Structure 1
Amino acid sequence: MIPFTAFAEVVAYAAGAALLVGAAGVAALYALRGRSITVLLAVVSAATVLATVAGIAAITLKMLISDHDRSVALTVTAIGGLVGLGVSLLLGHRLIGGTRSLLTSVRAAGETGRFGPPERRLPAELTELGAELSAAYERLDAARARERALETSRRELVAWVSHDLRTPLAGLRAMAEALEDEVVADEVTVRQYHAQIRAETDRLTAMVDDLFELSRIHAGALRLSRQRVGLSDLVSETVAGTEPLARAKGVRLRGEADGVLPVEVDAAELGRALRNLVVNAIRHTPEDGGVEIVAGAEEGMAYVAVSDACGGIPDEDLPRLFDVAFRGEAARTPGGGAGLGLAIARGIVEAHAGEIGVSNAGAGCRFVVRLPLGV
């Protein structure tokens, strides 16, 4: 058994030689830090071999073994080091090939907008990186699609609002000029013009309010004052607020809620969303038709369903019904304002972490709002 002092001396010599070579290797890695992975792996392999050779040389000199034995030991170590260097170069070549394949895919994605992972088999880390890049490009593509849809909606909004503002403003100007020039002088006509001016002013005010609300929603500036309320109370208030419009139109309006359903919502904002849905349903339901509001709970969510008798909506229009300024076929446009009511309703519901959807059902459409139940 080797004496402890001799063993400690061997360790000291080997460690000293290895540390010197290791320090030189670290310095080389720092100097070549901008080079390819193959070069860096070659430096690591060479440092490992040289550290081993230096340690063996130091030990054999200290142990005073024969030149023949020393040569054999150093030769075996050098051969092993060369094999290790070759393996490192092959590994570096594989890594370089994988990274270049990823780089080619990324460059191609810059032209096509879609990222396709390389067909060659990559190391696990590069495969994971490729999957993350693919997911990132998919998210970016979805964001671009949303941006294009939003820009389209903005252009449509400008066009529709310009039209809807121009028509009442032209009427207001004509009536104001007629009154100013005393073209209209009889008392009955004057009162009629005043009433029309008031009605058009109210309509324009409501349109401006809708635009302001929509701008707050799109800017993320909609601040909700949540409180615990019963969904049945919201349904009752919605029915009471829209009953005069339904009566004037000759539409039957009915609302019911299944028990006490607590929800944490901004009662004013959610009430506005529900009124928009009901007003939309009443406007597009023919005389002597019916509009029904039903509230309940299913699958852990509260829901409010508004059903009308509008005759249905073409399937191709359903996905765009909540878009800004979208009106669809002409049969659904009378009295529809700037087409902002449904867009505002969607924005308010989504701000409450809820969902809103529409489908054709029975003699018309069924709008459904889903909200988390209050705990």
Structure 2
Amino acid sequence: MRDLALIFAIALGAALVVGLAGALLLRLLRRSPITVHLSVLLTTTVVAVVLGVVAVAEAMFLSPHDLEVVLITVGAAAAVSLAVGGHFGRRLAAAAVWTEQARERERQLEKGRRDLVAWVSHDLRTPLAGLRAMAEALEDRVVRDPETVGEYHRRIRLETDRMTRLVDDLFELSRINAGALRLSMTAVPLGEVVSDVLASTAPLAAARRIKLVAAESGWPIVTASEPELTRVVANLLLNAVRYTPDDGTVRIEAGRERDHAWLAVADTCGGIPPADLPRLFDVAFRGEPARTPGTGDDSGGASGGLGLAIVHGLVEAHGGRVEVGNTTDGCRFVIRLAAL
């Protein structure tokens, strides 16, 4: 028993020395990745075992041959342990990175939801207050002349239509985010879609003397769902018209590159701050100054702050992508879809 106790004490002493050194090293490397921590832990364990074996062997007066056999055995076991530990260390590191990315995505989604609720609350509260004021004025006969009464009725209809569009946009966005969007893919002539959208947008552009310029040829045929593609083109064109100053120009053109088609909408809005470009397709993002339709905007497009998010979601649902960049006097949106 005395010999066993002595062996235990020697092995324990060697393990404590190495363990304290490993603990100090881990403290110094506390900001390092988890793979480094695991490597230090495994190495400390192996060194403690080797040092304990050597100390006990010296105390027991083992022959050099026997000590060499023991060390070879311990070394083989250590190599396997380090290899297995390194493999699991990499997996743990990858899992930690994935978990952190998932948490960051969840934080971004939660922030997006809060921003959306705040944005929708503001955009509903403002027209509702106006509707209430006009309704009370009509009810209390504060306004009596037919021209003012007719204007109040027109504004009530316009604000009601705008809130209806906002609700429709929210429903469309919820379908996209929930993966409930079902596309009926067919061969769609891009030129016909653009022609229809230009016809519906022309009155708004004419009211502000904005020139709509469309390419005369080169319109490819794309594989898409026509209603959703029309929504994409309409949102891009109306977005360009809204933020282009009076007497400006909006250009729309398209082409084909190998197996995909592209459509570009360029305006003369003066450009977008570079810091805002990566967030331009976020829900309810408007940038500075706020990208909000003016009071005279009677268009039937997507509500400000949702239109580009809907474009991004619909284009991605088609397996395409949308890009934006600044030009000399404005910005240029480009969508890319599969072509026939």
Report the TM range for the smaller structure's normalisation.
Answer: 0.7 to 0.9
> What is the deviation of 1:287?
1.1
Match of 1:348 among 303, 314, 329: 314
Tell me if 1:321 matches 2:280. Answer: yes
Q: 8 Å contact 1:235–1:295 — kept in the other structure?
A: no
The superposition leaves residues 65-95 of structure 1 with CA deviations (integer Å, 9 ceiling, x where unpaired) of xxxxxxxxxxxxxxxxx99887554333343
> What is the deviation of 1:256?
2.1
1:186-205 paired onto structure 2 within 5 Å: 186-205=145-164
Aligned to 1:367: 333
Aligned to 2:16: none
Distance 1:233 1:135, change over 3 A: farther
Larger Rg: 1
> What is the deviation of 1:315?
0.6
Tell me if 1:357 matches 2:323. Answer: yes
The superposition leaves residues 158-200 of structure 1 with CA deviations (integer Å, 9 ceiling, x where unpaired) of 1111111111101111111111222222222221111111011
Identity %, equivalent residues:
55
> What is the deviation of 1:220?
1.1
Distance 1:257 1:301 in 2: 20
Could you say what secondary structure the match of 2:116 adopts?
A: helix
Distance 1:219 1:359 in 2: 29
Distance 2:93 2:214 in 1: 49
The superposition leaves residues 37-84 of structure 1 with CA deviations (integer Å, 9 ceiling, x where unpaired) of xxxxxxxxxxxxxxxxxxxxxxxxxxxxxxxxxxxxxxxxxxxxx998
1:1-375 paired onto structure 2 within 5 Å: 87-96=72-81, 98=82, 123=83, 127-256=86-215, 259=218, 261-330=220-289, 332-335=291-294, 337-374=303-340
The superposition leaves residues 191-232 of structure 1 with CA deviations (integer Å, 9 ceiling, x where unpaired) of 111111101101110111111111111111111111111222
Could you say what secondary structure the match of 1:345 adopts?
A: helix
Runs of 4 or more consecutive aligned structure 1 residues displaced over 6 Å after TM superposition: 82-86
Distance 2:86 2:196 in 1: 57
Aligned to 2:47: none
Distance 1:339 1:372, change over 3 A: same
Could you say what secondary structure the match of 2:275 adopts?
A: coil
Distance 2:281 2:219 in 1: 29
Q: 8 Å contact 1:309–1:364 — kept in the other structure?
A: yes
Distance 1:195 1:231, change over 3 A: same
Q: TM-score, normalised by structure 2?
A: 0.73
Q: Which amino acid aligns with 2:76?
A: L
> What is the deviation of 1:298?
2.1
Distance 1:289 1:320, change over 3 A: same
- More relative contact order, 1 or 2 (CA 8 Å, 6+ apart): 2
Could you say what secondary structure the match of 2:274 adopts?
A: coil
Q: 8 Å contact 1:232–1:257 — kept in the other structure?
A: no
Q: 8 Å contact 2:220–2:255 — kept in the other structure?
A: yes
The unaligned stretches of length 5 or more in structure 2 are: 1-66, 298-302
